[in-house]
């Protein structure tokens, strides 16, 4: 495959060298197009030696070959890593003041930008608007990783690892091209699967999964919570990542061992830590604005204290506890299902239920499915050692009308894969 690797001027440009070597080892022909600022970080001889191709930055190089147009016309894939705030601003404005931005205008193949910058720059409204503009035109902008930045700063804005960039970019052209580091491209794309046999039917999709249980503060010490460990939500996130998705996990108070599982998992997920229902709602809506699928697996508190004092509520001997007034929390799942942050978005919910005098677990699940309006609802019985905190699970998958469309049982990872099988059928 003919790949153009754009490199803009940021300290993360050194990772472009690793990405170049990785793509070449996989058998792709790679031409590097740096900006003038990029060559302040990595010299042209390095790119030329590793690519075996000439390196230029100006539109007036090789005028007879009209390379400022020809390069983009003949490429199968364009990757820009790192993509600085300046580069994305120029691309969003349609500027063509060097060879890289001119090539971006001429390219008709998939274009992937991997941003890298300080958190304040990534979060700036101008940058967010430029990213939205580019995505609206069909450019695939990878979410930056969170971690150590230049100097002592940490936060979102770190360039993802070269392996992750390559995996996500190649999957846009053909999921069968995605293989282990250093492997040759797969020659027989009869089914979308990775070298280790995992399906890649979510390749290139953006997925948001909430997990864990929210906590509502009663005072600075106490809270209203639930028994969710987050295991099922984490299993969903990791299963989606294994199937090629770009995953954001919104984690609410995960059990300690589950947190370790997320951090040490073999597939990368962006993790947003939250505490309360309000924080989870804000995080899911922010991440879900550009997601293909949102899965609400977190156990969200239905109510919160109307007021939270700044000091601990004291126990007074001989007096009973003061009453705590509760108010209703927003119904995040219903909001997502009815508003649809994206027109073609698939929304999935969970219903952790117990049977009672008014109906069975499935009866309550069906009522919730009709009320919430989500595309799918996974209903599971909880209590008496089932559901919360266990290694296994059993769910009935309902559609929005409350009709059964699937059953799944086994480990929480097996349940997760069964649910993704159902979701994949709904994706355009």
Active site residues: 226
Cβ distance 201 to 424 under 8 Å? yes
Structure token digits, residue 305? 């204290």
Per-residue three-class SS string for the chain: CEEEEEECCCCCHHHHHHHHHHHHHCCCEEEEEECCCHHHCCCHHHHHHHHCCCCCCCCCCCCCCCHHHHHHHHCCEEEEEEECHHHHHHHHHCCCCCHHHHHHHHCCCCEEEEECCCHHHHHCHHHHHHHHHHHHCCCEECCCEEEECCCCCEEEEECCCHHHHHHHHHHHHCHHHCCCCCCCCCCCCCCCECCCCCECCCCCCEEEEEEEECCEECCCCCEECCCCCCHHHHHHHHHHHHCCCEEEEEEECCCHHHHHHHHCCCCCCEEEEECCHHHHHHHHHHHHCCCCEEEECCECCCEEECCCCCCCCCCCCCCCCCCCCEEECCCHHHHHHHHCCCCCCEEEEEEEECCECCECHHHHHHHHHHHHCCCEEEEEECECCECCCCCEEEEEEEECCCCEEEEEEEEHHHHHHHHHHHHHCCCC
């Amino acid at each position: 495959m003919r790949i153009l690797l754009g490199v803009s001027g940021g300290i993360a440009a050194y990772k472009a060298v690793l990405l170049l070597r990785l793509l070449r080892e996989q058998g792709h022909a790679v031409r590097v197009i740096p900006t003038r600022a990029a060559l302040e970080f990595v010299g042209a001889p390095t790119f030329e030696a590793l690519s075996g191709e000439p390196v230029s930055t100006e539109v007036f190089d090789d005028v007879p070959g009209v390379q400022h147009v020809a390069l983009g016309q003949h490429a199968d894939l364009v990757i820009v890593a790192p993509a600085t705030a300046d580069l994305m601003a120029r691309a969003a404005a349609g500027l063509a003041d060097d060879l890289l931005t001119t090539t971006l205008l001429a390219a008709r193949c998939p274009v992937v930008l991997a941003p890298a910058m300080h958190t304040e720059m990534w979060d700036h409204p101008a940058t967010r608007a430029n990213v939205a503009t580019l995505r609206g035109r069909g450019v695939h902008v990878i979410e930056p990783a969170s971690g150590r930045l230049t100097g002592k700063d940490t936060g979102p804005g770190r360039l993802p690892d070269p392996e992750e960039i390559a995996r996500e970019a190649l999957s846009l052209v053909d999921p069968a091209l995605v293989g282990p580091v250093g492997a040759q491209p797969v020659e027989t794309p009869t089914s979308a699967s990775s070298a280790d046999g995992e399906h890649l039917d979510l390749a290139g999709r953006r997925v948001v999964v909430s997990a864990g249980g929210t906590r509502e503060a009663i005072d600075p010490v106490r809270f209203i919570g639930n028994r969710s460990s987050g295991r099922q939500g984490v299993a969903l996130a990791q299963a989606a990542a294994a199937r090629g998705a770009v995953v954001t996990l919104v984690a609410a108070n995960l059990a300690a061992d589950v947190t370790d599982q997320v951090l040490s998992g073999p597939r990368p997920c962006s993790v947003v830590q939250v505490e309360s229902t309000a924080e989870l709602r804000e995080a899911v809506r922010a991440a879900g604005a550009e997601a293909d699928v949102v899965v609400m697996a977190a156990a969200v508190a239905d109510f919160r204290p109307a007021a939270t004092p700044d000091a601990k509520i004291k126990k007074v001997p001989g007096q009973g506890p003061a009453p705590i007034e509760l108010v209703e929390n927003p119904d995040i799942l219903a909001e997502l299902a009815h508003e649809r942050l994206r027109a073609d978005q698939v929304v999935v919910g969970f219903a952790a239920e117990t049977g009672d005098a008014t109906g069975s677990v499935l009866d309550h699940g069906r009522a919730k499915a009709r009320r919430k309006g989500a595309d799918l609802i996974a209903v599971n019985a909880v209590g008496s050692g089932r559901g919360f905190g266990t290694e296994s699970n059993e769910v009935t998958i309902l559609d929005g009308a409350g009709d059964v469309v699937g059953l799944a049982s086994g480990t929480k990872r097996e349940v997760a894969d069964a649910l993704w099988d159902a979701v994949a059928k709904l994706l355009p």
